[in-house]
């Protein structure tokens, strides 16, 4: 479970996971743990929230909010938050120039 959570918050995944960054992650980089627990790969491993919380606690690059309801990257979380304006910028940068 910890390996899968590490993957979700890893650079390689965040580069391409627009859904996570734009729909699930809030403007401060937080992802609700119960939503993360609903991801198919996590559910296939366990539905036990204590195991999921323990796995998150073991991820050194993540922090848990004061209410223990959400998780985000400890460092550089701002880099990954996708606002509508930032999505446009990334879309334009990824599109080939038209002449």
pLDDT at residue 16, as a whole number: 96
User: Would you list the domain boundaries of the chain?
Assistant: 2-94
Strands (E), 1-99: 31-32, 62-64, 70-73
List the 70-73 sheet strands across, edge first.
31-32, 70-73, 62-64
Assess contact for 53 and 65: CB atoms under 8 A. Answer: no
Q: Which distant-in-sequence residues (6+ apart) come within 8 Å of 24 by Cβ?
A: 31, 32, 35
Topology at the third CATH level for domain 2-94: Arc Repressor Mutant, subunit A (1.10.10)
Assess contact for 30 and 36: CB atoms under 8 A. Answer: no
To 10 degrees, the CA torsion angle through 26, 34, 20, 45? 160
The 8-class DSSP code of residue 25 comes to S
| pLDDT (tens digit per residue) in 6-64 | 999 999 999 999 999 999 999 999 999 999 999 999 999 999 999 999 999 999 999 99
pLDDT at residue 69, as a whole number: 97
């Amino acid at each position: 479970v910890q390996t899968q959570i590490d993957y979700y918050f890893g650079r390689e995944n965040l580069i391409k996971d627009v859904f996570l960054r734009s729909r699930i992650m809030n403007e401060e980089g937080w992802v609700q743990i119960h939503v993360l627990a609903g991801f198919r790969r996590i559910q296939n491993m366990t539905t036990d929230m204590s195991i999921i919380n323990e796995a998150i606690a073991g991820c050194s690059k993540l922090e848990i909010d004061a209410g223990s309801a959400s998780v985000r990257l400890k460092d550089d979380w701002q880099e990954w938050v996708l606002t509508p304006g930032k999505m446009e910028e990334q879309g334009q940068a990824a599109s080939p120039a038209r002449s």
